[in-house]
C-alpha cells in the first residue's frame, strides 16, 4: 500500500512540476514579447514627437507641397493609437510619406542647407532604423510565443491563463520585394534636381518633360 502511495505522490509531484515549469515558460515568453513591443512603442512615440518640428521647419519653404505635409500630419496620429496591426500599417504609410517629403525637399537648396532640417531628417531616419531593428526581435519573440501557446503542453495552460495569439509587426512591402534596377531613372543618368525659382515653384515644374526612351526588354530585371 505504501508503495502505491509513494508512486502516486511521485506522479503528483511530476505533474505539479511540469505545470509550474510550463507556466513559468509561458510567462517568460509573454514578457519578452511585451518588452520588445515597448521598445517599438518608444520609437513610434519618438517619431510622433519629431514630426511637428519637421512640418514647421519645411512648410515655410514648401509653399506648393501642402498635400505632402498634410498627409504626413494626418498619418502622425495613427502610429500611437490602435492595435499592433493598425500601428504597423500607419507606420509603413508614414515612412512612405516621409520619403516623398524628403524627395521633394531635394528641390529646395535653402531647406537642405538648414541645420534644423538636417538634424530632424537624421533623427527621423535613425528612429526608422531603430524601429526596423527592434521589429525583427519582436516578430521572433511573437513567433516563439505563439508556438508555445499552441503546442503541447503550453496549450493546456494558455486558455486558463488568458493567453492569446499575438500579431506580428509587419514590415513595409518594399522591404519584402526583390530589388529592381531601373536603368532609365534620373538617378541612373546622374541628373540633379532643379533649384526652385525665386518666390515660385521649383524650376521646371511647369515645362513639358521630354519622354524617356524605352528601356531594352528585360533591362529592369536582375
- Please, are residues 154 and 39 in contact by the beta-carbon 8 Å criterion? no
Q: Which of the four pLDDT bands, split at 50, 70 and 90, describes residue 7?
A: confident
In this prediction, residues 182-198 reach a mean pLDDT of 42
List, for residues 103-154, the tens digit of each pLDDT value: 888 888 888 888 999 999 999 999 999 998 999 999 999 999 999 999 988 8
For 111-144, b where at least 16 C-beta lie within 10 A, e where not — what string?
A: beebeebeebbebbeebbebbeebbeebbebbee
- Please, are residues 58 and 117 in contact by the beta-carbon 8 Å criterion? yes
How is the chain split into domains, by residue range?
Answer: 2-174
Model confidence, pTM: 0.68
Is the model more confident about 64 or about 119?
A: 119
Strand locations in the chain, DSSP E?
none
Number of CB atoms found within 10 A of residue 88's CB: 22
Per cent of the chain over pLDDT 90 is 35
Beta bridge partners of 196: 202
Predicted local distance difference test score (pLDDT) of residue 1: 64
CATH 3.40.640.10 assigned to domain 2-174? The reply is no
List, for residues 19-39, the tens digit of each pLDDT value: 999 999 999 999 999 999 999
Which residues fall within 8 angstroms of residue 181, CB to CB, at 6 or more apart? 188, 220, 222
Torsion of CA 80, 85, 86, 87, to 10 degrees: 30
Measuring CA to CA, which residue among 28, 209, 175 is closest to residue 88?
175
Amino acid at each position: 500500500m505504501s508503495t502505491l502511495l509513494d508512486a502516486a505522490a511521485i506522479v503528483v509531484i511530476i505533474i505539479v512540476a511540469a505545470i509550474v515549469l510550463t507556466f513559468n515558460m509561458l510567462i517568460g515568453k509573454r514578457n519578452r514579447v511585451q518588452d520588445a513591443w515597448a521598445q517599438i512603442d518608444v520609437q513610434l512615440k519618438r517619431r510622433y514627437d519629431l514630426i511637428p518640428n519637421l512640418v514647421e521647419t519645411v512648410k515655410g519653404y514648401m509653399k506648393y507641397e501642402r498635400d505632402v505635409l498634410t498627409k504626413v500630419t494626418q498619418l502622425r496620429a495613427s502610429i500611437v493609437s490602435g492595435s499592433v496591426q493598425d500601428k504597423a500599417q500607419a507606420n509603413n504609410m508614414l515612412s512612405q510619406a516621409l520619403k516623398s517629403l524628403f524627395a521633394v525637399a531635394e528641390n529646395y537648396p535653402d531647406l537642405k542647407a538648414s541645420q534644423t532640417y538636417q538634424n530632424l531628417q537624421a533623427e527621423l531616419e535613425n528612429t526608422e532604423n531603430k524601429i526596423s531593428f527592434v521589429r525583427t526581435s519582436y516578430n521572433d519573440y511573437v513567433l516563439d510565443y505563439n508556438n508555445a501557446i499552441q503546442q503541447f503542453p503550453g496549450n493546456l495552460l494558455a486558455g486558463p491563463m488568458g493567453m492569446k495569439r499575438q500579431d506580428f509587426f509587419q514590415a513595409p512591402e518594399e522591404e519584402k520585394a526583390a530589388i529592381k534596377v531601373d536603368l532609365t531613372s534620373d538617378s541612373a543618368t546622374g541628373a540633379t534636381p532643379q533649384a526652385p525659382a525665386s518666390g515660385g515653384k521649383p524650376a521646371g515644374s511647369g515645362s513639358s518633360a521630354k519622354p524617356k526612351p524605352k528601356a531594352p526588354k528585360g533591362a529592369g530585371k536582375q
